[in-house]
């Protein structure tokens, strides 16, 4: 754009980039690697990999390519916003719509997991079960580790909102403090969930309760990890002097994502933890 002189419009004409192609290749390798890994567990060989290569090697290569794409591509977006200053108010409107649609698509993912859970929980007899949770399943006590994680996430929603308001008022010290607290709370949530999983009285395989429980809560846990990384990137940008009270959509996007994670957890806690507590003995 610089070669054509001064820009006469408010739109951002993105420069040619190799990241879409690299990311697509990474996604393809990732998918084939994951299929190969699962097939290898059954004794099958989906891909002709050399003898002695771990079954997860191709999957790991794909994951690394995707991570490299994310770092490079989002680094370019940060450069466009903070260095080239091409994210005009018109462009930011498009980014807002894009982030809103992305979160809406994530909501649909969780609708699928909730649908699978309620389909079995509300109609257990259709699956040959006497009740819900199924016989032999010892559900978690919702007033033990799950309520601790609920309080952690609710508190983190407060701290990220505090950081956002501090940024709007130009108080960068409070922004850093709020982000640090939110990140530490996010890490704490992940640690508590790992402890919870290690004490589970049921597994993922061979029962519908374990499959739906771990898919729903595990998918949410993955989002907490992604959101924590998102906030870490935002914190690094704050330390580099990025964002201003008027221009900080990247920060807002991270806050939106984090609040989305908070709300989903409240539904998980009410539906899965509280919903299962009445039908089985609590597990500590």
pLDDT in tens, 102-134: 999 999 999 999 999 999 999 988 888 888 888
202: left (phi over 0), alpha (psi -120 to 50) or beta: beta
Contact 159, 181 (CB under 8 A): yes
Same domain for 92 and 74, yes or no, is no
Q: What is the mean pLDDT of residues 36-53?
A: 86
Instruction: Supply the range of the domain harboring residue 234.
Output: 88-284
Same domain for 123 and 2, yes or no, is no
Same domain for 115 and 32, yes or no, is no
What domain count does the chain have?
2
The pTM of this model reads 0.88
Identify the pLDDT of residue 48: 87
The answer to whether residue 82 scores a pLDDT higher than 70 is yes
Identify the pLDDT of residue 50: 86
Give the chain's mean pLDDT.
Answer: 91
Same domain for 43 and 58, yes or no, is yes
Same domain for 131 and 95, yes or no, is yes
Query: Which residue intervals of the chain are DSSP H helices?
Result: 19-41, 57-82, 89-122, 145-168, 172-198, 208-239, 249-268, 275-277
**In the chain, what is the greatest distance between 2 CA atoms, to the nearest angstrom?**
73
Contact 174, 162 (CB under 8 A): yes
For 140, list phi and psi in degrees, rounded to 5.
-70, 145
Same domain for 42 and 178, yes or no, is no
Q: What is the mean pLDDT of residues 147-162?
A: 97
Tell me which residue has tokens 């935002």. Answer: 234
Same domain for 72 and 146, yes or no, is no
Same domain for 82 and 93, yes or no, is no
**Domain end call among 39, 65, 86:** 86
The answer to whether residue 9 scores a pLDDT higher than 80 is no
CATH number of the domain encompassing residue 32: 1.10.287.70
The answer to whether residue 55 scores a pLDDT higher than 60 is yes
Higher pLDDT, 157 or 275: 157
Q: What is the mean pLDDT of residues 33-62?
A: 89
Higher pLDDT, 246 or 165: 165
CATH number of the domain encompassing residue 280: 1.20.120.80
Q: What is the mean pLDDT of residues 196-222?
A: 92
Contact 202, 246 (CB under 8 A): no
How far is it, in rounded angstroms, from Cα 166 to Cα 95? 22
How far is it, in rounded angstroms, from Cα 128 to Cα 139? 19
Identify the pLDDT of residue 5: 52
Higher pLDDT, 284 or 29: 29
pLDDT band at 282 (very low <50, low <70, confident <90, very high): very low
**Domain end call among 67, 86, 105:** 86
Same domain for 28 and 149, yes or no, is no
The answer to whether residue 4 scores a pLDDT higher than 70 is no
How far is it, in rounded angstroms, from Cα 125 to Cα 251? 48
Same domain for 110 and 2, yes or no, is no
pLDDT band at 193 (very low <50, low <70, confident <90, very high): very high
**Domain end call among 86, 106, 123:** 86
Same domain for 82 and 96, yes or no, is no
Same domain for 82 and 199, yes or no, is no
């Amino acid at each position: 754009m610089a070669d054509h002189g001064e820009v006469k419009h408010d739109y951002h004409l993105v420069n040619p980039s190799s990241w879409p192609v690299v990311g697509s290749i990474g996604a393809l390798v990732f998918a084939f690697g994951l299929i190969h890994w699962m097939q290898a567990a059954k004794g099958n060989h989906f891909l002709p990999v050399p003898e002695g290569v771990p079954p997860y090697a191709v999957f790991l290569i794909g994951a690394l390519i995707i991570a490299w794409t994310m770092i490079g591509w989002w680094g370019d977006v940060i450069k466009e916003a903070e260095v080239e200053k091409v994210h005009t108010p018109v462009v930011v409107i498009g980014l807002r719509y894009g982030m809103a649609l992305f979160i809406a698509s994530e909501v649909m993912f969780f609708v699928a997991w909730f649908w699978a859970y309620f389909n079995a929980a509300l109609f257990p007899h259709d699956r040959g079960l006497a009740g819900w949770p199924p016989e032999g399943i010892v559900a978690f006590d919702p007033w033990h580790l799950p309520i601790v994680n609920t309080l952690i996430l609710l508190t983190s929603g407060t701290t990220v909102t505090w950081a956002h308001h501090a940024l709007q008022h130009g108080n960068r010290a409070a922004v850093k403090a709020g982000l640090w607290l939110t990140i530490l709370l996010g890490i704490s949530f992940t640690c508590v969930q790992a402890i919870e999983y290690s004490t589970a009285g049921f597994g993922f395989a061979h029962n519908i309760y374990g499959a739906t429980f771990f898919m729903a809560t595990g998918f949410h846990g993955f989002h907490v990890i992604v959101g924590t990384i998102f906030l870490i990137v935002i914190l690094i940008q704050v330390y580099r002097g990025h964002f201003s009270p008027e221009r900080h959509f990247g920060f807002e996007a991270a806050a939106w994502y984090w609040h989305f994670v908070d709300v989903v957890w409240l539904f998980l806690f009410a539906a899965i933890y509280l919903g299962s507590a009445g039908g089985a003995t609590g597990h500590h």
